[in-house]
A and B are shown apart, each in its own frame.
Chain A
Amino acid sequence: MKNVVNVDVKLGVNKFFVDENNAHIELVENPDSVEFAKLIAACPAGLYKKDDDGSIQFDYAGCLECGTCRVLCGKTILQKWEYPVGTFGVEYRFG
């Protein structure tokens, strides 16, 4: 479409306390690409990405803790999905 969304800019206004030592979501090695494509489309934070060269990326910083990826792929390509440890993660000022 005309306006390609830049989710990183949107996430930029949010308040996050990122737990640098502990990823609360982890992908399996070599995730199935059909499953991964679902997450590229559905993650509201756009954290599942595929580069032009086909390599995939995921960064748990910026996670909105919605659970969408768990619902879609918790049993396939995610090997870990937890809420961040208490006090970490997103903090809504409006909600």
Chain B
Amino acid sequence: MSEEKFDAIIVGAGLAGSTCAYLLAQAGLECLVIDRGNFPGAKNMTGGRLYGHSLEKIIPNFAEEAPIERCIVHEKISFIDEERCTTMEHTTPVATDLESRSYTVLRSKFDQWLAEKAENEGAGYIPGIRVDDLIVRDGKVCGIIAGDEEMEADMVILADGVNSILGEKLGMVSQVTPHHCAVGVKEVIQLSKQQINDRFGCSDNEGAAWLFAGMPSAGQMGGGFIYTNEDSISLGVVFGLHNAGTTDKSVPQMLEDFKNHSAVKPLVEGGKSVEYSGHVVPEGGYAMLPKMVADGVIITGDAAGLCLNVGYTVRGMDLAIASGAAAAKAAIKAKEDGDFSEATLSTYTTELTNSFVMKDMKLYKALPEFLDNPRMFNEYPTMVTAMMNDLFTVNGPSMPLRKTFLPHLKKVGFMNLIKDGVKGVRSI
């Protein structure tokens, strides 16, 4: 096999990898995508919400043909403690501007579709192969090693996701630490289309994104989520790993308790669990970004830590797509120049810096630290649900609202409220 040399080998057929392959093939480059799963998407999971803007720029009107689940029109955010739940809801019509739309997706289907698009443009795919190492000659990456096979290329694009063992081997990515990531666990629960429409107040093709702060992550950094798919819902919990060992509750138990919460149980009642998945979410933010370019190599997507924890939601898919596209641009330029050195490939980082990717990474730079405060996930949810409870409970003469609310605010502490308020505003 090593007689044949590719322009680029891409490791990982996730969103970053396949977006890159699509654009490279379209530009006429010979590229090969290798994935360890039996098909693209076989190893991938996500929460569920794809902000469409970055893919829209590459494949206009993609939602017409892609296996998206539902277009999100209902947003819900809840503060939730062990018993109670206070929810804020926001509904909008489907945006007329395609780039403003977001969709729920299931990756096993979605990634296969994107890979097929790339294949149709001429990209080669080899599934079922784990890349074990990279060929490095004189400090330049020149190909990949899988088992005892070697394949050569002018450059390699790493799109191998969080836990980028290959990026670590190159000394570019440092191993994710518990302080900079979370574990996500999710159940896909099958219901009929009609049941979902009724329970979430949706019509066909339209759906809800619902985030929960508080008890799902046992009062620690993290949260719960529900996304409505076409005929199933994605129910999950994200839990910051630096808090592992601080709570007796196991992560699978967190998901189970969340699923059985009185506000959630009726929504999944009668549904059939069809899959249980887990994945790590990189949450280090801007401060933890690795070296992303070296001679003959570019690192994209989760592998490069390009994922945002913006408190109420995790965003990584639109960044993975945009970074895959930026890598393609750099690779096409390198091919034109016949130069695959770090200097030429650095158009990748310039491209990212000028795009929403780095702008958003910078914008939310202070957020991981701000959120890593148990008050956000414990005291505040309890405070809000308790205040609402008092507001809606009538069991004798009512008290002035001021008197009802004050004790709850006092419990958290006025200074804390002011401090977190100020810091919160500064970090967004």
Q: Are B273 and A13 in contact (CB under 8 A)?
A: yes
Q: Are B45 and A92 in contact (CB under 8 A)?
A: yes
Query: Which of chain B's residues have a CB closer than 8 A to the CB of A74?
Result: 175
**Is B252 interfacial (CB-CB < 8 Å)?**
yes
Q: Are A5 and B245 in contact (CB under 8 A)?
A: no
Proximity string of chain A (34-76) to chain B, C-beta cutoff 8 Å, 1 when within and 0 when not: 1001101111111000000000000000001111101110100
Binds A, one of B103-111, B351-359, B386-394: B103-111
CA distance A61 to B45 in the complex (A): 19
**Is B181 interfacial (CB-CB < 8 Å)?**
yes
Q: Are B181 and A71 in contact (CB under 8 A)?
A: yes
Q: Are A41 and B250 in contact (CB under 8 A)?
A: yes
Distance (whole angstroms) from the CB of B169 to the closest CB of chain A: 12
Distance (whole angstroms) from the CB of A21 to the closest CB of chain B: 14
Q: Are A67 and B163 in contact (CB under 8 A)?
A: yes
Q: Which residues of B contact A (CB under 8 A)?
A: 36-38, 41-46, 106-111, 127-130, 146, 162-163, 165, 175-178, 181, 183-185, 187-188, 232, 239, 241, 244-245, 247-253, 255-257, 260, 273-280
Q: Are A10 and B280 in contact (CB under 8 A)?
A: no
Q: Are A67 and B277 in contact (CB under 8 A)?
A: no
Distance (whole angstroms) from the CB of B33 to the closest CB of chain A: 13
CA distance A17 to B127 in the complex (A): 15
Q: Are B250 and A46 in contact (CB under 8 A)?
A: yes
Interface of A (DSSP majority class): loop
Q: Are B130 and A83 in contact (CB under 8 A)?
A: yes
Instruction: Determine which of A14, A44, A72, A83 lies in contact with B185 in the assembled complex, contact meaning CB atoms within 8 Å.
Output: A44
Q: Are B183 and A66 in contact (CB under 8 A)?
A: yes
Q: Are B38 and A91 in contact (CB under 8 A)?
A: yes
Contacts known (A41-B247, A92-B277); A70 close to B42, Cβ less than 8 A: no
Q: Are A92 and B44 in contact (CB under 8 A)?
A: yes
Q: Can you list 13 A-B pairs with a CB-CB distance of less than 8 A? A: A3-B260, A10-B187, A40-B250, A41-B245, A41-B250, A42-B250, A44-B183, A64-B277, A67-B162, A83-B36, A90-B43, A91-B42, A95-B44
By beta carbon, the residue of chain A nearest B185 is A44
Query: Which of chain A's residues have a CB closer than 8 A to the CB of B45?
Result: 92, 95
CA distance A91 to B241 in the complex (A): 24
Q: Are A86 and B252 in contact (CB under 8 A)?
A: no
Q: Are B128 and A68 in contact (CB under 8 A)?
A: no
Instruction: Determine which of A5, A34, A42 lies in contact with B241 in the assembled complex, contact meaning CB atoms within 8 Å.
Output: A42
By beta carbon, the residue of chain B nearest A85 is B130
**Is A4 interfacial (CB-CB < 8 Å)?**
yes
Proximity string of chain A (19-44) to chain B, C-beta cutoff 8 Å, 1 when within and 0 when not: 00000000000000010011011111
Known: A68-B183, A82-B165. 15 other contacts (CB 8 A): A1-B249, A7-B252, A14-B276, A41-B247, A41-B251, A64-B276, A68-B280, A71-B176, A71-B280, A72-B244, A93-B275, A94-B232, A95-B41, A95-B46, A95-B111
CA distance A59 to B231 in the complex (A): 33
Contacts known (A86-B129, A95-B45); A13 close to B260, Cβ less than 8 A: no
By beta carbon, the residue of chain A nearest B232 is A94
Query: Which of chain A's residues have a CB closer than 8 A to the CB of B127?
Result: 86
Q: Are A5 and B165 in contact (CB under 8 A)?
A: no
Query: What 10 pairs between A and B have smallest CB-CB spacing?
Result: A44-B278, A95-B107, A95-B108, A5-B256, A64-B278, A67-B163, A44-B185, A10-B276, A87-B128, A66-B278
Q: Are B108 and A93 in contact (CB under 8 A)?
A: yes
Query: Which of chain A's residues have a CB closer than 8 A to the CB of B280?
Result: 66-68, 71
Query: Which of chain B's residues have a CB closer than 8 A to the CB of A11?
Result: 276
Q: Are B276 and A13 in contact (CB under 8 A)?
A: yes
Contacts known (A70-B163, A71-B177); A92 close to B247, Cβ less than 8 A: no
By beta carbon, the residue of chain A nearest B42 is A91
Q: Are B252 and A10 in contact (CB under 8 A)?
A: yes
Distance (whole angstroms) from the CB of A36 to the closest CB of chain B: 11
CA distance A90 to B107 in the complex (A): 14
Query: Which of chain B's residues have a CB closer than 8 A to the CB of A3?
Result: 256-257, 260
CA distance A86 to B35 in the complex (A): 8
By beta carbon, the residue of chain B nearest A62 is B276
By beta carbon, the residue of chain A nearest B229 is A94
By beta carbon, the residue of chain B nearest A42 is B244
Give the most central of A17, A40, A86: most B CB within 10 Å: A86
Q: Are A86 and B249 in contact (CB under 8 A)?
A: no
Q: Are B278 and A45 in contact (CB under 8 A)?
A: yes
Contacts known (A71-B178, A86-B130, A86-B146); A94 close to B247, Cβ less than 8 A: no
Query: Which of chain A's residues have a CB closer than 8 A to the CB of B163?
Result: 67, 70-71
Query: Which of chain B's residues have a CB closer than 8 A to the CB of A44?
Result: 183-185, 251-252, 278
CA distance A37 to B109 in the complex (A): 36
